């Protein structure tokens, strides 16, 4: 049974325009996500999915409407508290020419080696430790990672925060069907009890989510379980 470690997310009538861009990227968008719920956010390119994630991390604030995390306005959190509460796996994962340890520590500078190894094991990357352990050199002059391994590394980074809310922007883009399925089941597994919002273009694997929300031109136009939609 999942431990109740997630946090509720309430997005209420949010409108957002980028500076110097007259068309609103989000229009009166309302979406409520329960603590521990796993939601897929679907919609065509340019409909505002990544923008919504940006607002959830307060890279921007909405011009109208409100966002609450476990009942408290997002604007009431200081930066450190918000970072500890909401963790993000970005659309493009960056690998540094550095050791495996340093590639993980950038997400969580205080983590000890045990925590790093356990995060790698949870995402199925323990074989990276086989030869030189956390001292293994990655990137230029060292080991390159496949697309699927990069995604796993990004998820391991996010897990090190142990945040109650995890946001993912297309974490399976560019992966083959088998790797995509593996990443999805890994995510549901390691995030059991956490609140998960995953942006995707793909229709594959949606049945594994508690709910699917469909966006169009800055609004949620439909939502429900996979069976209901």
Site residues for ligand ATP per CB under 6 A? 18, 21, 25, 43, 45-51
Closest CA to 85 of 162, 183, 19, 21: 162
Question: Among residues 23 and 79, whose Cβ is nearest to ligand ATP?
Answer: 23
Question: Among residues 50 and 70, whose Cβ is nearest to Mg ion?
Answer: 50
Q: How far is the CB of 26 from Mg ion (least distance, A)?
A: 13
The one of ligand ATP, Mg ion, none whose footprint includes residue 25, by CB under 5 to 8 A per kind, is ligand ATP
Q: How far is the CB of 61 from Mg ion (least distance, A)?
A: 19
The one of Mg ion, ligand ATP, none whose footprint includes residue 46, by CB under 5 to 8 A per kind, is ligand ATP
Q: How far is the CB of 59 from ligand ATP (least distance, A)?
A: 9
What is the C-alpha end-to-end distance of the chain, expressed in Å? 27
Question: Among residues 138 and 213, whose Cβ is nearest to Mg ion?
Answer: 213
Closest CA to 171 of 189, 153, 159: 153
Structure tokens at 149: 């391994």
Strand order in the sheet with 211-216: 86-89, 165-169, 195-200, 38-42, 211-216, 219-224
The one of ligand ATP, Mg ion, none whose footprint includes residue 96, by CB under 5 to 8 A per kind, is none
Interacting residue ranges for Mg ion, rule: CB under 5 A: 50
Bridge partners, 216 (sequence order): 219
Distance of CA 36 to the CA centre of its chain: 14
Whether the CB-CB separation of 70 and 8 falls below 8 Å is answered with yes
Q: How far is the CB of 1 from ligand ATP (least distance, A)?
A: 34
């Amino acid at each position: 049974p999942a431990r109740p470690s997630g946090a509720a997310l309430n997005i209420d009538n949010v409108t957002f325009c980028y500076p110097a861009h007259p068309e609103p990227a989000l229009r009166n968008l309302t979406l409520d996500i329960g603590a521990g719920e796993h939601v897929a956010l679907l919609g065509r390119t340019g409909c505002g999915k990544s923008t919504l994630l940006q607002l959830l991390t307060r890279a921007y604030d909405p011009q109208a409407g409100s966002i609450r995390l476990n009942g408290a306005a997002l604007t009431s959190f200081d930066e450190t508290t918000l970072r500890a509460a909401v963790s993000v796996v970005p659309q493009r994962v960056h690998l540094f020419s550095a050791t495996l340890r340093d590639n993980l520590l950038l997400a969580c500078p205080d983590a000890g080696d045990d925590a790093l190894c356990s995060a790698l094991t949870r995402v199925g990357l323990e074989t990276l430790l086989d030869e030189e352990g956390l001292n293994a050199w990655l990137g230029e002059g060292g080991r390159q990672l496949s697309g699927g391994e990069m995604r796993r590394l990004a998820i391991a980074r996010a897990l090190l925060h142990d945040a109650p809310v995890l946001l993912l922007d297309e974490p399976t883009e560019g992966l083959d069907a088998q790797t995509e399925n593996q990443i999805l089941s890994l995510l549901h597994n390691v995030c059991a009890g956490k609140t998960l919002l995953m942006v995707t273009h793909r229709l594959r694997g949606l049945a594994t989510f508690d709910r699917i929300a469909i966006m169009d031109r800055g609004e949620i136009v439909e939502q429900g379980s996979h069976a209901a939609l």
